[in-house]
Amino acid sequence: RPLRIQTPRKMKGRSNYTMTEEPKMNPRVCRYLRKSRDDGEGESLQETLARHMRITEAMAADRGWGIDETYEEVVSGASIGDRPEMMRLMADMRDGRWDVVVVVDVSRLSRGDGSDQSRISNAFRLTGTRCLSDYRIYDLDNADDLELFERKLQSSRDEYKSITKRLRRGVDATV
């Protein structure tokens, strides 16, 4: 699945990120949606998933792409082993089914530990699958993209640990 390199360009009114790569032909595109039961975003599960669907649809549409399949799960677990849709997505990536996976934010892929983060990074890197998130394409064969992608995963993990610590303190204070 060769990609051609273009000069960076800003997406109109979307974000501060630049786009450097566009697939030569219509890529095979899917999206991954994950909602944690305890996200506390102040909206219902259905509202959050619908909003994430609209966002990912818009990101793909900005490139003239359609989304062929959606992997969706509601799970709060930190481990990807407890997430059947993520496991199915990674298997499909290994089978060469997808060129691009669209996610609302890289943090939706994992809040797991370093081994989970490595499994996800490797699934993208070793299969040549790109990740479109926040109107930016991550090509994990590119060292800068790989570093940013992994930093976002680690930041997500740090946030998860902080939330867990605050929840434990709250429970301990009520006992």
As beta bridge partners, residue 129 has none
Strands (E), 11-99: 18-23, 29-35, 69-74
pLDDT digits (tens, 9 = 90+) for 13-40: 333 333 445 554 689 999 999 987 655 5
Contact 31, 67 (CB under 8 A): yes
Residue 6 confidence class, pLDDT cut points 50, 70, 90: very low
Neighbours of 76 (CB within 10 A): 13
Average pLDDT over residues 52-56: 96
Which tokens sit at 68?
């062929």
pLDDT digits (tens, 9 = 90+) for 92-132: 999 999 999 999 998 888 766 667 888 999 999 999 999 99
- Specify the pTM: 0.75
User: What is the structure's pLDDT at 142?
Assistant: 94
Angle between helices 143-174 and 114-127 (to 10 degrees): 150
Strand 29-35 relative to strand 130-133, pairing? unpaired
Neighbours of 83 (CB within 10 A): 22
